Amino acid sequence: MNIVISNKSGLPIYEQIKEQIKAAIICDEIKEGEILPSIRSLAQDLKISVITTMRAYTDLEQEGFVSSMQGKGYFVLPKDSEHIKEQKLREIELHFYDAIAASKIIGLPNDELIQVLKILLEEQN
């Protein structure tokens, strides 16, 4: 698993770690039952604060991706595909909100906005 932190990304560091571990779990790069690097060793490798790393892990735990075991560290939970789908749906909605906001700024009518999406979808296929 790779974790690359950018100081310029605008996202807080814990968020960057969280998202990258999440992505690795979703695409099966780290599998169910696998143990994540310990908080202190990851903090050392990334040269970041222990508390920041801890925050990423506890967030992942709250979102149901990993679980902590006393003395053993954090391990990957079985993927709850419904849960992941739900999260991705939320992400899609957020991006659509952005698109709607942008179209309002230039006064783009709704049907033309939908047309843009259709064209993009066709291009993908």
Partner 1 sequence: MENILEIKSLRKKFGQFGVEDVSFSLPKGYIMGFVGKNGAGKTTTIKSILNMLHKDSGEIKIFGLDSLEHEAEIKAKIGVVMDSTFFEENWTLIQTGKALKPFYPDWDDYKFKQMLNTFGLDPSKKIKELSRGMRMKIMIACALAHDPDFLILDEPTSGLDAVARDELMDILKAFITNENKAILFSTHITTDLEKIADYITFIDNGKVMHSDTKDNLMEKYVMVKGGLGILNEDQKRLLIGYQECKVNFDGMILREKLELLPNNLATEPVSMDDLVIRFNKGGIR
Give me the least distance between CB of 93 and partner 1, in Å please: 22
Please give the residue ranges that form the binding site for partner 1 (CB under 8 A).
10, 12-14, 40-41, 43-44, 47-52, 55
Q: How far apart are CA 24 and CA 30, in angstroms?
A: 6
Residue among 15 and 63 whose Cβ is closer to partner 1: 15
Q: How far apart are CA 73 and CA 27, in angstroms?
A: 22
| Cβ neighbour number for residue 70 with a 10 Å cutoff | 5
Residue among 41 and 67 whose Cβ is closer to partner 1: 41
Give me the least distance between CB of 35 and partner 1, in Å please: 16
Smallest CA-to-CA distance from 74 within 91, 58, 50, 51 is with 58
Give me the least distance between CB of 91 and partner 1, in Å please: 22
